[in-house]
Amino acid sequence: MSGSAQPLLEIRALRTYFDTPDGTVKVLDGLDLDVQRGHIVGLVGESGSGKSVTAYSIMRLVRPPGRIAGGEIRFAGRDLLALRESEMRKVRGKEISMIFQDPRGFLDPVTRVGALLTEIYRTHEGVSRKQAKARALEMVSAVGLPAPRRVMRSYPHELSGGMAQRAMIALALACAPKLLIADEPTTALDVTIQIQIIRLLANLRERFGLTIILITHNLNVVAEICDDVAVMYAGQIVELGPSVEIFERPRHPYTVSLLRARPTIVRGERLADIPGRVPDLLEPPSGCRFSPRCFMAEKICCEEAPALRPLRPGHRSRCHFAERLEDAAA
């Protein structure tokens, strides 16, 4: 991606496998991703593409039968996969935080929001109860919760979905992490609340100098706030680049297909769907994994796996024939 500065996060050849009775499912099979400091990177793809497993791998929270089988995750210069678990615990929450689609599943239902947040400041910063409470109130206001004092006294179930997500963001940011991973943070929310939350994330990026990985299946959410986009398909990144490039000059047939599958304004006109379905990762197709569904696949595509190769500065594609999309995509 653009900029010559050292990326905050560099993932190289990451492999995360799940051992099942039927064999090993290679959910992530050689994932490469750079995330620049201060950027919002959209990680898009359909169900089963490996988006969430990427997030859990970065946090090293993959549970058996899943395992990280190899690769490198360099965060601020350190390889997270080489850290001891005790060291990794200090990274989680403090340096890398995560929010989820269903915040209520994550907030302790019997603890008031204010108490949760105050406790975090007390533990991590060792400040007095009074100072911690003041910090908590500040954060509750920063995430745009109305009537902060009342929210502090609320239990999670007393909050609406949008408010609970804001509370979750407040908790995630309490220890001033460098990186926030947001896994489908607006998927369960109403349209008018979704836009409030994505704008909030954009504002918090500015205010706290955050770097954000936004995992979503919604291309429009990506178009709205992301600086860069990584498109995932069947456990690999197939295209990567600045948002404007990806949306206006897509260079991978899967990206092109995804963009075209969105409903057009023309009533009744046929939508361009993608033939077939997502491959079984127990036995992924040989060659390019998208080849069985691709509108421009040729013989070589079924035989030779393409590499994720640079096309323009910051723009990479995993397609043998990326250049053929030069004009077709416009």
Partner 1 sequence: MRGVVSAQPLLRVEELTKHYRIRSGGRRATLHALDAVSFEICPGETVALVGESGSGKSTAAHCILRLEQATSGQVTFEGEEVTTAPRGLLRELRRRLQIVFQDPTDSLNPRRSVGATVGEPLRVHGMASGVAARERVGEILELVGLQPDVARSYPHQLSGGQRQRVGIARALVTEPSLVVLDEPTSALDVSVQAKLLNLLNDLQGRLRLSYLFITHDLGVVRYIADRVLVLYAGQIVESAPTERLFERPLHPYTRALLEAVPVDSPGQRTERPLPRGEPYAAIDPAPGCRFAGRCAWAAEECMASVALRETDTGHRARCTGWFSGRVPEPGALDLGTTAGIGERG
Place of tokens 């995804």: 258
Nearer to partner 1, 283 or 304 (CB): 283
DSSP 92: B
Q: What is the DSSP letter of 320?
A: T
Task: Please say whether the beta carbons of 244 and 237 come within 8 A.
Answer: no
Candidate residues 83, 134, 261, 302; the one interacting with partner 1 per rule CB under 8 A: 261
81 binds partner 1 (CB under 8 A): no
Chosen residue from 79, 190, 303, 323 binding partner 1 by CB under 8 A: 190
Torsion of CA 215, 220, 225, 227, to 10 degrees: 70
CB of 127 to partner 1, least distance (A): 33
CB of 110 to partner 1, least distance (A): 20
Q: Which of 20, 123, 220, 286 binds partner 1 (CB under 8 A)?
A: 220
What is the spatial distance between Cα 200 and Cα 212, in angstroms, rounded to a whole number? 12
Q: Is 248 exposed, middle or buried (0-12, 13-18, 19+ CB in 10 A)?
A: exposed
- Edge to edge, the sheet with strand 179-183 lists 96-99, 179-183, 211-216, 40-44, 228-233, 236-242, 315-317, 309-312
Q: How far apart are CA 275 and CA 273, in angstroms?
A: 6
To partner 1, the closest distance from the beta carbon of 271 in angstroms equals 4
Beta strands in 60-168 (DSSP E): 66-75, 78-79, 96-99
Q: Is 265 in the site for partner 1 (CB under 8 A)?
A: yes
Could you say whether residue 195 binds partner 1 (CB under 8 A)?
yes
Q: Does 223 bind partner 1 (CB under 8 A)?
A: yes
Using the rule CB under 8 A, is 264 a contact of partner 1?
Answer: yes
Q: What phi, psi does 57 have (nearest 5°)?
A: -70, -40
Q: What is the smallest separation between the CB atom of 330 and partner 1, expressed in angstroms?
A: 7
Among 259, 296, 302, 305, binds partner 1 (CB under 8 A): 259
* Closer residue to partner 1, CB minimum distance, 6 or 264: 264
- Would strands 236-242 and 228-233 be described as parallel, antiparallel, or unpaired? antiparallel
Q: Pick the closer one to partner 1 by CB: 45 or 71.
A: 45
Q: For partner 1, which stretch binds (CB under 8 A), given 82-90, 115-123, 189-197, 305-313?
A: 189-197
Site for partner 1 in 18-77 (CB under 8 A): 46-47
Binding flag, residue 192, partner 1 (CB under 8 A)? yes
Nearest residue (CB) to partner 1, 5 versus 330? 330
Q: Which is nearer to partner 1, 46 or 119 (CB)?
A: 46
Q: Note whether 270 binds partner 1 by CB under 8 A.
A: yes
Q: Is residue 5 a contact residue for partner 1 (CB under 8 A)?
A: no
2 binds partner 1 (CB under 8 A): no
CA pair distance 287, 123, nearest whole angstrom:
51
Could you tell me the CA-to-CA distances from 92 to 63, 82, 116, 172 in Å, in that order? 16, 15, 17, 10
Which of 74, 166 has the CB closer to partner 1?
A: 166
Q: Which 236-255 positions form the footprint of partner 1 (CB under 8 A)?
A: 243-244, 247-248
Closest C-alpha among 264, 265, 247 to residue 256: 247
Amino acid letter, 284 = P
Q: 144 to 173, contacts with partner 1 by CB under 8 A? A: 160-163
Rule CB under 8 A: which residues touch partner 1? 46-47, 160-163, 190-196, 198-199, 217-221, 223-224, 226, 243-244, 247-248, 257-268, 270-274, 277, 330
